[in-house]
Amino acid sequence: MFRTIFLLSIGFFSTNVAAQEQNVFGRVSQKDIDLKVYAKDTTANAVVLYEKGDMKFQYFARQMYLIKTFDFKIKVLKKEGYDVANVEIPMYTYGRNTEEIYDIKGITHNGIQKDTLAEKDIYTLKNNSYWSTKRFTMPNIKPGAILQYSYKIKTPYIYDFEGWRFQSTLPKIHSEFNAKIPGHYYYNKSFYGSLKMDVQETFREDYCMKFADRPDMDCEVLKYIMKDVPAFNDQEKYMLAPSNYIARLDFELATAYWWDGKKKHFTKTWDEVDKKFETYVDVGKQLGKNHFFEKQFTENNLAGSTELETVKNIYDFVRGHFNWTKDYSIYRDVNVKTAFNKKVGNVGEINISLVNMLNAAGIKCRPMLLSTRNHGLLSKDKPAIDDFNYVIALAQLDGKEILLDATEKKTPFGMLPFRCLNHLGRVLDFEKGSYWHKIIPYAKNSITIRGFANLNPKNNAITGKIAEISQGYPAIEKHEELSKIEIVEYLDKMANTSVADLYFNNYKKNKDKSSEKVLSETYEFVIKDVLVDGKIYLDPILVKWLESSPFKSNQRNFPIDFGHPFSREYQMNIKIPKGYKIMSLPQEKSMILPGGVGSLDLGCKALGELIQFRFKLAISQSYFEVSAYDHLKEFFAEVVDNQNNTFIVLKKI
């Protein structure tokens, strides 16, 4: 069962035993009341003063239940932090088994004034046949308010033992998780993130659970505490799913021991996971529709003179035949024949149809499961079906393996959509055994701009022409953008991120030089009001790539992932008008990242009547460990500074 629980984006809440007396429900300390700014994060709109989660097992009516108790206390520091008052608690129901949320209490403290959460302000919203949500909003919220609330959950789903998020988008002064697990259940524990525990204790409690009709149980008692937890900035640039890096504790039921001495293992091996996929109606059972897809292959005359041409024909056909619903579904509602006839499908239906048709044509092809960038990284050491949320096709051709995704109309052959660039996938081979496959991104991703500028003092303007060539993922992005907006809007958007009084016009897309992986464009420009006190000021970089540095945090605790290598190259030749001389040119600049994996090159020189300006940025790898952050931060600060503060000044003789 796959379940995700969001509580104010800050997970569950906890505290420690030593702090319990200071955090009795209904009381707040003078220290908490006096807190105006959180010194360790002065930008924080709110701070979690205290949070605690207790997990215990209880036996009712011959069934084991898990009782979860949550307590927390939050200080609102600014108006922008008011959203912490909105609470949503999900409940799951399957058949006769349902979760129960009860004993909800809430108090808002404003100095000595207390406002209690009313029962009438707590309501339940039914989302679908499986999920409902308890909702309430804490009363009388204002800057300085302290919110206290608590609740309990009784759940029969003991196999789905929820973990704990120590880190969230809010800073936390104290976060604690406690659990008392009967000896009949053994859970694997996994800790994620780079932060360290302040307290980590495990001990045994004898006879913690007593039964009238069964032997008593011993328990494993857990206590985890983390203090002064920094907020996790989920808006950081070039980051994969925050769940990969946020400090959290996860549990997975490995083994259950029954009273009769029998035991059951729940931890799966990859072979067991593969067998599950083979028998899934929505995965394995959708493969092998040979007769249906052989018919489509023949009727649409997709055979080529070579195997490569045949693969391209089939890819183009499937890509053009289907309209993608934007649904990533691979576990439910996958029916390739129905989707093919309707010409509409989800990810599973489209790409499994691609696999089927390639196999029908005699091309060996297998489905490859993966996790998208915003879903989470896969772990070879943790066999789990729910870690996958996407499927593509892997075709074997002349000893090479080609990854294909036919969901997007504008994704070129041999390239995956950006969302799929998440390092690793698992190829399902039900005959010889499934295996892992690296996802290596397309390497030639560049934007190259070459321009010529003519300075015209009489008209107080600069005019010129630009030729721009985009390759790889930048070309795909631009093709997609141009299909959705008018050229005038496209040029205005580009001009608004560049120098003042700049106008682009006479745009042309050079179709003979363009393809799915390449976009060739030419356009002209005019810069008005360039004369100031008899001098001409020109910012030679008319097309900006970065408005500001993507790396601003003082510290980063997770890797940098660009998705793919890239380069940006800009050249501008500027004709010096008669009667003018050069007063100043940009200084040359060269910078190289350690290991030569990135470079910045800026140069400007005068050659007769021309000024030649060049600016080049290149990043040759897509992934950087945390240790590279300081170098990247310095590097991109220099890139932005040179992009935005580079001027050529001419003076009338």
- Write a three-state SS string for 314-328: HHHHHHHHCEECCCC
Residues 6+ apart with CB under 8 A from 128: none
Mean pLDDT on 447-472:
94
Lowest mean pLDDT among 413-417, 440-444, 459-463, 568-572: 459-463
Task: Quick: pLDDT tens for 293-343.
Answer: 999 999 999 999 999 999 999 999 999 999 999 998 787 788 899 999 999
More confident of the two residues 20 and 154: 154
Tell me how far the alpha carbon of residue 360 is from its chain's centroid: 36
* Residue 265 confidence (pLDDT) above 90: no
Mean pLDDT on 58-68:
86
- Beta-sheet strands, E only, within 61-94: 63-76, 86-94
The strand pairing partners of 452, in sequence order, are: 465, 573
- What dihedral do alpha carbons 550, 554, 557, 563 form, nearest 10°? 10
What pLDDT sits at residue 215?
Answer: 77
What pLDDT sits at residue 17?
Answer: 43
- Order of strands across the sheet with 502-509? 502-509, 518-528, 461-471, 446-456, 566-575, 610-619, 598-607, 589-592
Choose among 630, 631, 633, 628: nearest CA to 559.
628
What pLDDT sits at residue 24?
Answer: 83
| Three-state secondary-structure class, residue 634 | helix
Handedness of CA 355, 356, 362, 367 (dihedral sign): positive
* Residue 6 confidence (pLDDT) above 50: no
Task: Give the number of other CB atoms < 10 A from CB of residue 205.
Answer: 13
The pLDDT confidence band at residue 10, using thresholds 50, 70 and 90, is very low
* pLDDT > 70 fraction of the chain, expressed in percent and rounded: 96
More confident of the two residues 282 and 501: 501
Mean pLDDT on 64-82:
95
- Contact (Cβ atoms closer than 8 angstroms) between residue 474 and residue 445: yes
Tell me how far the alpha carbon of residue 591 is from its chain's centroid: 30
Mean pLDDT on 514-524:
96
* pLDDT > 90 fraction of the chain, expressed in percent and rounded: 69
Task: Quick: pLDDT tens for 594-603.
Answer: 999 999 999 9
Task: Quick: pLDDT tens for 397-452.
Answer: 988 999 999 999 989 999 999 999 999 999 999 889 999 999 999 999 999 999 99
Mean pLDDT on 202-219:
84
What pLDDT sits at residue 15?
Answer: 38
- pTM, two decimal places: 0.85
* Residue 19 confidence (pLDDT) above 80: no
Strands 323-324 and 263-265: unpaired
Strands 86-94 and 131-137: antiparallel
What pLDDT sits at residue 343?
Answer: 96
Task: Give me the residue label for tokens 């390497």.
Answer: 443
- Order of strands across the sheet with 146-155? 113-116, 100-110, 146-155, 63-76, 46-60, 172-182, 217-229, 199-209
- Contact (Cβ atoms closer than 8 angstroms) between residue 46 and residue 76: yes
Task: Quick: pLDDT tens for 23-57.
Answer: 788 899 999 999 999 999 999 999 999 999 999 99
- Contact (Cβ atoms closer than 8 angstroms) between residue 246 and residue 232: yes
Strands 400-404 and 97-98: unpaired
Tell me how far the alpha carbon of residue 281 is from its chain's centroid: 29
